[in-house]
Amino acid sequence: MRIIILLTLFTFSFLIVSAQSIEDSGVDPFTGKTIVHTSWTGLGVKNILPTKDTPNLDFKLTYEDDKEFLCLRWNNGINSVAKGSLLQLMMDDDSVITLSAVADFVSQSTVSTIVDNTSSSRYIYIVYTGDLSALKNKSVTKMRISTVFGARVVELNEKNSSKITKAYNLIMNEL
């Protein structure tokens, strides 16, 4: 009986920790404008275009300076995204939202060494801006991420798509 209770508590604690939430909300003391950030949330994705590996893709939404931002954290190896590069979101009604990168972004490498074990990872952090209002009542089915080396198209299942919609509605409820 104790084991069942402990397993149940562990499972619920994991779900609470991994749930989408508001990470930061308040008023910028310099501008007097509202700032809202959601937590980073993972998206399980499938590749549409042929590539050798499946990306590990996380996102968060931010509202700052009266603008909406979608931030991606992506372990795609060595890559870069130029300012103005497009992120296209295909919605469940086949409409497309087009966002643009706010600056140039280049992947960062992290190397860890513990005793005789060395590991490394390469992440790129990208910030996009544009009109995200369609996320209020529509779901994202596919994302097309344009990079200097070409585009990557990823498909989102219903569960992961709902994470983006939920994050958008969390931000709108804070405003």
Which structure tokens are listed for 86?
């497009």
Q: Model pTM greater than 0.85?
A: no
| Residue 12: inside a domain | no
By residue range, what is the domain housing residue 60?
A: 22-174
Q: Give me the tens of pLDDT residue by residue for the chain, a chain 175 residues long.
A: 555 444 444 444 444 445 678 998 899 999 999 999 999 999 876 555 545 455 688 999 999 999 999 999 988 677 899 999 999 999 999 999 999 999 999 887 776 677 767 666 678 899 999 999 999 999 999 999 999 989 989 899 999 999 999 999 999 999 8
| Residue 61: inside a domain | yes
The amino acid sitting at 7 is: L
Structural domain count of the chain = 1
| Residue 10: inside a domain | no
| Residue 134: inside a domain | yes
Which residues have a Cβ under 8 Å from the Cβ of 123 and sit 6 or more positions away?
73, 74, 75, 107, 108, 110
Q: What is the CA radius of gyration of the chain?
A: 18
